[in-house]
Amino acid sequence: MNIKLLFLLVLGVFYHQIVKCQTPTIVDRYGQLRVEGSYILGQNGDTVQLRGMSMFWSQWMGQYYNASCIKWLRDDWNCTVVRAALGVESGGYLENPYEEVPKIKRVVDAAIKNGIYVIIDYHSHEAHKNPAAAKKFFTEMAKKYGTYPNVMYEIYNEPLQETSWSKDIKPYAESIISTIRTYDPDNIIICGTRQWSQLVDEAASDPIKDKNTVYTLHYYAASHGQSLRDEAEAAIKKGIALFVSEFGTCDYSGNGTLDYEASKIWWDFLDKYKISWCNWSIADKNETASALQFGVSWSGNWKIEKLSPSGKFVREEIIKKNSILFQK
């Protein structure tokens, strides 16, 4: 090797180290997460509030489940968390596990590589009817990823209204949690609640005995307002921690008016209680909730004008709030 080349190589390694030192990732900073009362804490005892994006159902928007898209969400959107939504029914994991599971792994691997947190979401409305399928999936995930601080497991996206917390959802959750805990004793588990993950106070009255489990709260800002915040507040006061793994800036159908004011009221509420959130969703479907305009690139690199009004609005909020974390 000639001396010039060696010099450049040494310089390169040195520069890489310096840059790395100057820009620690969110996972460098918070590391292994844990729950204490109604808060999620990082490795040094800091209260953690993550903000980022949820992917859309994997079987319908799988094109965005790739490494460069995740890197773009970190670099350009400032996301500290992403959520990979494994579609379970409707042509998803149950029918095509060999197509759907690799999509989830691509997102998780990219999140780990980029130093952000990632939620492995079992995106189902009736998961408790087939716990064996969920156990098989989470066994594989916990074995593969249980030692990475980046990973969280969301075991049941949205149980329906007609289910029972104590008789259906809780027993399902306990059995999946026990499966995950066989391989991963500590990473955070996010547990769905009744009525599309709204009735968190019901869960707070009969909580699961696992020290690092939090509960899912979902809202759509144009449909759900103060009464749902009251429900959340009651749950918090009983001592459980919440995670908004999904919310929309529009109505509960994912469509309708983009409600800026209602969205801001919700963000104030989430900031007050340090509740982490992911916005629904990275998709180019023609509906208000989608962050992207139809037909954009599958690999990120989206110009601002290629985002939907909701995408622009949410991206600004993420950048504004998450950048405070990295100010010196």
Among 12-20, 115-123, 160-168, 186-194, the segment contacting Mg ion (CB under 5 A): 186-194
Residue 186 found at the interface with Mg ion (CB under 5 A): yes
Using CB under 5 A, which residues numbered 144 to 163 contact Mg ion? 146
* Residues 106-125, mask of contacts with Mg ion (x by CB under 5 A): --------------------
Residue 99 found at the interface with Mg ion (CB under 5 A): no
Residue 182 Cβ, how far from Mg ion at the closest point, in Å? 12
Nearer Cβ to Mg ion (80/187): 187
Alpha-helical runs (H) found in the chain: 3-22, 26-30, 58-61, 67-75, 97-113, 131-145, 170-183, 194-197, 200-205, 226-237, 260-272, 309-325
Q: Which residues are catalytic?
A: 158, 246
Q: How far apart are CA 233 and CA 216, in angstroms?
A: 13
Residue 231 found at the interface with Mg ion (CB under 5 A): no
Tokens of 301: 């690199």
Q: HEC profile for 4-69? A: HHHHHHHHHHHHHHHHHHHCCCHHHHHCCCEEECCEEECCCCCECCCEEEEECCHHHHHHHCCHHH
Residue 284 found at the interface with Mg ion (CB under 5 A): no
124, 88 contact by CB (below 8 A): yes
Among 33-41, 48-56, 143-151, 237-245, the segment contacting Mg ion (CB under 5 A): 143-151
Residue 212 found at the interface with Mg ion (CB under 5 A): no
Q: Which of 100, 154, 158, 184 binds Mg ion (CB under 5 A)?
A: 184
Q: How far apart are CA 35 and CA 73, in angstroms?
A: 26
Residue 263 found at the interface with Mg ion (CB under 5 A): no
Among 138-146, 231-239, 289-297, 320-328, the segment contacting Mg ion (CB under 5 A): 138-146
Nearer Cβ to Mg ion (106/181): 181
Packing angle of the helix pair 131-145, 170-183 (nearest 10 deg): 30
Among 61-69, 140-148, 169-177, 249-257, the segment contacting Mg ion (CB under 5 A): 140-148
90, 125 contact by CB (below 8 A): no
Task: Kindly list the residues in this chain that would bind Mg ion in the complex (CB under 5 A).
Answer: 146, 184, 186-187
